[in-house]
Amino acid sequence: MNLRLSADQEAFRRAVCELLCEDSVRDEVARTRRLPADDEPGLLEVYRRLGERGWLATNWPVEHGGLGSSIVEKAILTEQMIVHGIPDVVHTLSIDIVGLAIQRLGTEAQKSSLLPPLAAGRSVGCVLLTEPEIGSDLGGLSARAEPDGDGWRLYGRKVYSLKSQFADFALCAARTTESEVRFHGITVFIVPMRAPGVRVEPLWSMSDERFNEVVLSGIRMTPDDVLGDLDDGWQVLHDLLGIERTGIEFEAKARRLLDAVLDEAERAGSIKNSEYGELLVALDAEVRAGQLLAWQALGDMLDGELDDVRCAMAKWHTTETAKRISELGPEICGLTALLSARDDEAIPGWLLESAFRDAPGLTLASGTSEVMLSLIASAGLGLLS
């Protein structure tokens, strides 16, 4: 694919950059970084400002809150938000995963009611997939939808759900039909998160982004709440996981982390160390390779295809690279790199300490590195057939 931006796309990138560099946005970002350790940002004013311009979901149709542009403009926005330090998890979940799944697979009624508030930065969507006993093995789902008149009652327990404490609705996978075929009989429901029968509790960890446990106790679902086809939720999940794995947000995070390490290494003088210098050059090459992989995966989607192997390659490479930078940063920059941004003696605007704690999750979320390598080996290289 052609990796050079068009004149219009470059103008869009500059316009987004200008907005994200405004003092009010920088002040909001600084405030979120000073939040207490048990707090975290939800919807931000900058999301609403982006939404007002149709930029938050720029590739969606105008009637759904976007500008009708391509997924390239959407990727440009994602990169710029991360480069400028805008907290991105709510945005990634609501727009890049949940919203895009509804855009591709939802009914017209679902699109009309759910997408405009997401695109305007006034609503949050999340996903409810992982369960305590199955991890990433969605074929072993125990959450169930029991028949109830013309609908179902939903029961189950989901874990490691991000931002569900802020969410208005969630995409939830549950079993609707028992089948000898493990991946048949799964249905994806659109669950209102503030309805009776939905309980959200924190699962605390080292990460700044809190995980949650979500318990579903008989909340009623109707055919209007089904995303995609009944009992064919595996196909919905396949598309959903592919959307998560383009690697765009991970390569942008790796770039931002490495730039921070480079700046501090130069200030501290460690960049003159030949060992560190060679290491930083190698890391820069890995970040650039990850960007190319991510944009190639995006190019497949632009052409109406979803290359599972390329997405797995992009997801594996970009997350492993970002994790490696997070782990090597303190060695290169010294112990001050491990001071929290809330510490008065921390490097101004420092982000590596937080990234160091978040790093293990990068290679677990959206499919573990081991699962990605298995997919590459089997579907890509034919080694496990």
Q: Is residue 240 part of a domain?
A: no
End-to-end CA separation in angstroms for the chain: 30
- What pLDDT score was predicted for residue 238? 73
- Cα–Cα nearest to 86, from 164, 32, 12: 32
Contact 97, 124 (CB under 8 A): no
- pLDDT value at residue 118: 97
Query: How do residues 278-328 score in pLDDT, each as one tens digit?
Result: 888 899 999 999 999 999 888 887 777 778 899 899 999 999 999 999 988
Helices 7-20 and 45-52: crossing angle in degrees, nearest 10, is 150
**116 and 131 both lie in a single domain:** no
CA 83 – CA 140 distance, rounded (Å): 38
Residue 2 lies in a domain: no
Question: Domain containing 45 — which CATH number?
Answer: 1.10.540.10
- 259 shares its domain with 373: yes
Residue 145 belongs to what domain range? 127-234
pLDDT at 12 (0 to 100): 96
Domain contains 1: no
pLDDT band at 384 (very low <50, low <70, confident <90, very high): confident
Asked if 248 and 282 count as a contact pair (C-beta separation under 8 A), the reply is no
Task: Specify whether the CB–CB gap between 52 and 118 falls below 8 A.
Answer: no
- Kindly state whether residues 157 and 180 are assigned to the same domain: yes
pLDDT class of 271 with cuts at 50, 70, 90: low
The domain boundary residue, chosen from 211, 234, 257: 234
Q: Do 375 and 269 lie in a common domain?
A: yes
Of the chain, the percentage scoring pLDDT greater than 90 comes to: 55
- Of residues 353 and 38, more confidently modeled: 353
**Partners of residue 200 on adjacent β-strands:** 214
Q: Is residue 239 part of a domain?
A: no
Average confidence (pLDDT) over 96-115: 94
Question: Which region holds residue 111: left if phi is over 0, alpha if psi is between -120 and 50, else beta?
Answer: alpha
Average pLDDT over residues 69-75: 90
- State both tokens at 220: 């009623």
Same domain for 63 and 37, yes or no, is yes
Residues 224-240: what's their mean pLDDT? 87
Rounded Cα–Cα distance for residues 81 and 77 (Å): 6
Task: Give me the pLDDT at residue 223, please.
Answer: 97
Report CA torsion sign: 186, 187, 193, 199: negative
Amino acid at position 121, single letter: G
Domain match, 221 and 254 both: no
Residue 201, number of CB atoms within 10 A of its CB: 11
14-23, 34-43, 200-209: which has the minimum mean pLDDT?
34-43
Q: Name the token pair of 198.
A: 């939905």
Domain count, the chain: 3
**pTM: predicted TM-score of the whole model, two decimal places:** 0.88
Higher-pLDDT residue of 214 and 136 is 214
Residue 155's pLDDT band (cuts 50, 70, 90): very high
Residue 225 half-sphere exposure toward CB, CA atoms < 13 A: 21
